[in-house]
């Protein structure tokens, strides 16, 4: 069974192959090669079905064939994004950047004290964190779901240790109780905590939300942390514009007020977050790398 | 890596292109470009940064390979079917030399020479050289595929000619790029 795990879609083989390819393949010949491998990964039934389900909610009324080709576009963008990420880590090949919401970005950079960046599984959040780390003296703590496969997790951790400095620290969302305290201390020490707010992992506290008219949930952690530490949440998205070209989009900060009615404060903050998220996903649906259905009715 | 900020026309910097034909074209575009201020834009100066160049060159290599494969199948199948079969096979075939080179040949060279090579650059040269050899072979065929092979060799010759022009224009190119803070040592 171990060879199946190794060569499975989440297996370490593909990460090692990607690393090898980014070093060996001349960058100018990437497009057809990435296009080919993206098509091959469409054989991943669960991922393909998850993306198709999500696309049906984002773009209702589309035919099966149109949704299928859109799914291929999502896979293609994912391939480009992870390739850009590894190329940056291994070869320091940096993409072009375009900033949108510069005033909010400057506000985040100059904000005294800690802050929370709430982002989504879009574009390359690793590249975005690196870019941000290079433009500020403050440390970023990225919270993410760990890789399911232990070999893949080790591979990713080793790659991060070897190629990324201390400016970006990665922590995992599974150890929720200790992590909450660590993050609170980090924010209170003036660090920036980046959390992905579009996916709830099993065992993680969540808040109800509505996205594209579907009932879903978002992680409660960032909102609770913002309330406890009295820091703003900056919705930030990394959007791939084309080959080696990304946009960093920063939206207006979300304040989670401490009031008597905590639930209402959370509701307002979640609504503001999902509004930003929905707007960005609607415009860049081909870059939402959510491979599982985001709403309950199809997940059941 | 050199970064040019807030100037959109800097996308035409010749140093952001790899092949001489594209460098020459970029130089012509940049020389005639109007200033396009765009706050918040950061353009990297790297030879592999141009999307147009990458898509054009890679699709050209892919289509040429597909044409060679299709010509082989066309002896057995009707041409439209031969082309349909050749598309996936051609895209796989164009990758094989890179894998062979990367897995077997380059590690052996590095072990013997006891030196680290910029592997992607070697693979790039090897891939083009291999295509020149294959095109020379197909250029002698009597079927339609010889036209594909000849166009490939013609483009290679044109690029070599462009390289001579780029070399002769190295002074004006360097002067133009220096207006964007790019010097020959900072590019790449």
Check if the beta carbon of residue A294 is closer than 8 Å to that of residue A211: yes
Are both B112 and B43 inside the same structural domain?
no
Are both B139 and B92 inside the same structural domain?
yes
Q: Residue B5's beta-bridge partner residues?
A: B42
Are both B110 and B151 inside the same structural domain?
yes
Question: Counting every residue, how long is chain B?
Answer: 188
Residue B104 in any domain: the answer is yes
- Per cent of chain B over pLDDT 70 is 95
Dump pLDDT digits (tens) for A155-174. Answer: 877 777 777 666 677 766 65
Dump pLDDT digits (tens) for A109-126. Answer: 887 888 899 999 888 777
Are both B113 and B28 inside the same structural domain?
no
Residue B188 in any domain: the answer is no
Q: Nearest-5° angle of CA B63, CA B65, CA B70?
A: 90
Q: Considering the entire predicted model, what is its pTM?
A: 0.88
For chain A, the distance separating the N- and C-terminal CA atoms, rounded to the nearest angstrom, is 28
CA B93 to chain centre: 17
Residue A196 in tokens? 């992905």
Residue B187 in any domain: the answer is no
Are both B110 and B145 inside the same structural domain?
yes
Number of domains in chain B: 2
Mutate to test the interface with B, among A96, A99, A243 (most CBs of B within 10 A): A96
Are both B59 and B120 inside the same structural domain?
yes
Can you give the pLDDT at residue A96?
A: 93
Are both B111 and B172 inside the same structural domain?
no
Are both B115 and B155 inside the same structural domain?
yes
Q: A80, exposed or middle or buried, with CB in 10 Å at 0-12, 13-18, 19+?
A: buried
A97: chain B residues, CB-CB within 8 Å: 41-42
Residue B136 in any domain: the answer is yes
Are both B58 and B150 inside the same structural domain?
yes
Concatenated DSSP letters for A172-218? ETTSHHHHHHHHHHHHHTT-EEEEE-S---TTS-EEEEEETTEEEEE
Mutate to test the interface with A, among B36, B48, B102 (most CBs of A within 10 A): B48
For residue A269, pLDDT beyond 50: yes
* Coil, helix or strand at residue A134: helix
For chain B, the distance separating the N- and C-terminal CA atoms, rounded to the nearest angstrom, is 7
B57: chain A residues, CB-CB within 8 Å: 28-29
Residue B6 in any domain: the answer is yes
Look at B95 and A36 and tell me if their CB atoms are within 8 Å: yes
Look at B44 and A96 and tell me if their CB atoms are within 8 Å: yes
Mutate to test the interface with A, among B18, B40, B105, B188 (most CBs of A within 10 A): B40
**A30 at B interface, C-beta within 8 A:** yes
Are both B71 and B135 inside the same structural domain?
yes
pLDDT band, residue A35 (cuts 50/70/90): very high
Distance CA A229, CA A183 (A): 10
Can you give the pLDDT at residue B188?
A: 45
Among A102-106, A241-245, B107-111, name the most confident range: A241-245
This model of the complex carries an ipTM of 0.87
Average pLDDT over residues B117-145: 89
The b/e string for A126-148 (b: 16+ C-beta within 10 A; e otherwise) is bbbbbbbbeeeebbbbbbbebbe
Distance CA A12, CA A6 (A): 6
**A242 at B interface, C-beta within 8 A:** yes
**A134 at B interface, C-beta within 8 A:** no
**A135 at B interface, C-beta within 8 A:** no
For residue B101, what is the nearest residue in chain A, using CA coordinates? A24
Check if the beta carbon of residue A81 is closer than 8 Å to that of residue A48: no
Q: Nearest-5° angle of CA B98, CA B103, CA B107?
A: 110
- Per cent of chain A over pLDDT 90 is 40
Residue B116 in any domain: the answer is yes
Tell me which residue range forms the domain holding B136: 54-164
* Coil, helix or strand at residue A143: strand
Among A182, A238, A173, smallest CA distance to A206 is for A173
Are both B85 and B155 inside the same structural domain?
yes
Residue B96 in any domain: the answer is yes
Are both B36 and B124 inside the same structural domain?
no
Check if the beta carbon of residue A142 is closer than 8 Å to that of residue A170: yes
Residue B185 in any domain: the answer is no
Nearest to A27 among B42, B92, B120 (CB): B120
Contacts of A284 (CB under 8 A, 6+ apart): A122, A237, A239
């Amino acid at each position: 069974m171990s060879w199946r795990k190794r060569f499975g879609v989440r297996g370490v083989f593909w990460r090692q192959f990607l690393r090898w390819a980014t070093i060996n393949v001349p960058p100018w010949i990437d497009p057809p090669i990435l296009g080919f491998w993206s098509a091959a990964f469409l054989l991943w039934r669960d991922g393909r079905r998850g993306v198709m389900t999500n696309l049906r909610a984002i773009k209702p009324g589309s035919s099966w064939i149109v949704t299928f080709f859109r799914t291929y576009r999502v896979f293609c963008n994912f391939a480009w994004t992870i390739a850009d990420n590894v190329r940056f880590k291994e070869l320091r090949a940096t993409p072009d950047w375009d900033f949108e919401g510069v005033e909010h970005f400057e506000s985040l950079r100059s904000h005294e004290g800690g802050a929370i960046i709430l982002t989504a599984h879009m574009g390359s959040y690793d590249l975005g964190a690196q870019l941000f780390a290079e433009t500020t003296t403050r440390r970023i703590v990225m919270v993410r779901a760990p890789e399911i496969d232990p070999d893949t997790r080790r591979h990713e951790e080793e790659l991060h240790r070897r190629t990324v400095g201390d400016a970006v620290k990665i922590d995992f969302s599974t150890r929720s109780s200790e992590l909450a305290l660590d993050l609170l201390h980090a924010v209170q020490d003036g660090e920036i905590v980046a959390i992905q707010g579009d996916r709830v992992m099993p065992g993680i506290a969540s808040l109800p939300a509505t996205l594209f008219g579907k009932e879903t949930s978002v992680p409660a952690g960032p909102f609770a942390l913002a309330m406890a530490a009295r820091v703003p949440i900056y919705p930030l998205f990394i959007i791939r514009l084309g080959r080696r070209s990304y946009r960093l989009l920063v939206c207006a900060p979300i304040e989670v007020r401490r009031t008597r009615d905590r639930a209402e404060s959370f509701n307002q903050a979640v609504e503001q977050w999902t509004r930003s998220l929905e707007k960005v996903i609607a415009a860049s649906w081909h870059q939402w790398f959510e491979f599982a259905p985001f709403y309950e009715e199809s997940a059941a | 890596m050199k970064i040019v900020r807030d100037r959109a026309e800097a996308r035409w910097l010749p140093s952001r292109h790899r092949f001489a034909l594209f460098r020459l074209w970029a130089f012509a575009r940049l020389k005639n470009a109007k200033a396009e201020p765009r706050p918040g834009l950061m353009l990297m100066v790297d030879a592999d940064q141009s999307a147009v160049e990458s898509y054009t060159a890679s699709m050209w290599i892919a289509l040429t390979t597909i044409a060679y494969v299709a010509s082989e199948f066309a002896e057995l199948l009707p041409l439209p079917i031969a082309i349909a079969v050749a598309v996936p096979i051609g895209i796989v075939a164009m990758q094989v030399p890179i894998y062979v080179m990367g897995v077997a040949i380059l590690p052996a060279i590095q072990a013997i020479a006891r030196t680290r090579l910029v592997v992607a650059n070697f693979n790039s040269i090897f891939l083009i050289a291999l295509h020149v050899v294959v095109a020379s072979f197909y250029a002698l065929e009597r079927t339609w595929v010889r036209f594909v092979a000849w166009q490939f060799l013609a483009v290679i010759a044109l690029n070599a000619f462009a390289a001579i022009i780029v070399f002769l224009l190295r002074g004006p190119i360097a002067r133009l790029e220096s207006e964007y803070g790019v010097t020959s040592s900072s590019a790449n």
